[in-house]
């Protein structure tokens, strides 16, 4: 069934943003696959760092997380309208703090690997001014999911991986009237359950934004976008829901990029939670990203 689902997913795929749940490891700025797709038969390799923190719960149930993550991303344009992508995350450090604000766990290691495909179903205009694409992503349970504090049962927020197979389906649109590019996308994430029966809430993401090329030959790029995330509550192994999870957030994301050479691009991204309507007690903070990408012609 998983193989069939992935085959279906590979007939689709997306553009800019992906996810914005810091606890489950989703990456709201991971989607360089749409607006910035490599040329046909080119391999693009990128290295990205991310820093974030988040708190949830009250009293004895309060907890918070801090993480610094390194991400290796590889994209290959197999055909003019079809791109494959793989992402391998590595946690340089991930800290867990208890209700007293004391660090009780720190870990490093591999996270959950994702594989993605993007298929353009419509291209109009001499410079492909209108582009509609379908996207699909499969997240693999490659990160450790059995970490615990002492003799306690495994805490889901200590894990480097969710322990579940998750699927994302999306559709994107871009209008490329240079030097401007307008874009929008819609993504749904369906989360599976791990071996303990825990399941993160399903989520829906909607994004709209604009990007502008600046300077000679458009070697500099700036963009601004808004993303709405709506996520359901997490479900525990006993079937109950975590009341301090899920809800709605409006994010504002700004980025700036510069082509250092014809093949090397550096990009900085800052994502800020602007309006929140979260369940229970939760707090979100800005997330910062820095990425380098390089293209090889194959």
Q: Is the dihedral of CA 247, 250, 256, 257 positive or negative?
A: positive
Output 5 or 236, whichever has higher pLDDT.
236
Is there a contact between 74 and 37 (Cβ–Cβ < 8 Å)? no
- Asked whether the predicted pLDDT for residue 194 surpasses 90, the reply is yes
Structure tokens at 215: 């300077």
Structure tokens at 237: 């192994």
Structure tokens at 265: 């691009």
- Asked whether the predicted pLDDT for residue 36 surpasses 60, the reply is yes
Provide, rounded to the nearest whole percent, the portion of the chain with pLDDT above 90.
Answer: 44
- The number of residues making up the chain comes to 298
Q: What domains sit in the chain, N to C, each tagged with a CATH number?
A: 2-297 (2.40.128.130)
- Asked whether the predicted pLDDT for residue 128 surpasses 80, the reply is no
Amino acid 72: pLDDT: 92
- Cα(134)–Cα(191) distance, integer angstroms: 19
Calculate mean pLDDT across residues 137-146: 94
- Asked whether the predicted pLDDT for residue 33 surpasses 90, the reply is no
Output 62 or 68, whichever has higher pLDDT.
68
| pLDDT tens digits for range 222-248 | 999 999 999 999 999 899 999 989 999
| pLDDT tens digits for range 176-193 | 877 888 999 999 999 999
- Asked whether the predicted pLDDT for residue 252 surpasses 90, the reply is yes
Which pLDDT band, with edges at 50, 70 and 90, does 13 fall under?
Answer: very low
Residues 6+ apart with CB under 8 A from 262: none
């Amino acid at each position: 069934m998983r193989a069939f689902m992935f085959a279906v997913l590979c007939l689709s795929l997306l553009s800019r943003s992906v996810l914005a749940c810091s606890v489950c490891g989703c990456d709201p700025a991971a989607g360089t696959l749409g607006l910035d797709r490599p040329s046909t038969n080119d391999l693009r390799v990128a290295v990205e760092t991310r820093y974030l923190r988040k708190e949830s719960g009250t009293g004895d149930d309060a907890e918070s997380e801090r993480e610094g993550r390194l991400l290796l991303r590889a994209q290959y344009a197999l055909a003019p309208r079809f791109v494959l992508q793989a992402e391998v995350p590595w946690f340089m450090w991930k800290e867990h703090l208890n209700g007293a604000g004391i660090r009780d766990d720190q870990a490093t290691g591999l996270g959950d690997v994702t594989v993605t495909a993007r298929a353009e179903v419509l291209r109009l205009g001499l410079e492909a001014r209108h582009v509609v694409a379908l996207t699909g992503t499969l997240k693999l349970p490659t990160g450790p999911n059995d970490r615990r504090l002492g003799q306690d049962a495994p805490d889901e927020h200590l894990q480097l991986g969710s322990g579940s197979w998750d699927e994302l389906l999306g559709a994107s649109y871009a209008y490329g009237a240079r030097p401007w590019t307008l874009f929008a996308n819609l993504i749904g994430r369906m989360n599976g359950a791990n071996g303990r029966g825990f399941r993160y809430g399903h989520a829906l993401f909607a994004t709209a934004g604009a990007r502008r090329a600046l300077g000679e030959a458009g070697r500099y790029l700036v963009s601004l976008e808004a993303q709405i995330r709506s996520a359901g509550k997490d479900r525990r192994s006993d079937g109950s829901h975590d009341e301090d999870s899920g809800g709605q957030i409006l994010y504002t994301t700004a980025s700036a990029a510069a082509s250092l050479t014809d093949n090397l691009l550096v990009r900085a991204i800052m994502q800020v939670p602007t309006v929140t309507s979260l369940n229970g007690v939760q707090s979100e903070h800005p997330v910062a990203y820095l990425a380098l990408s390089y293209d090889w012609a194959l």
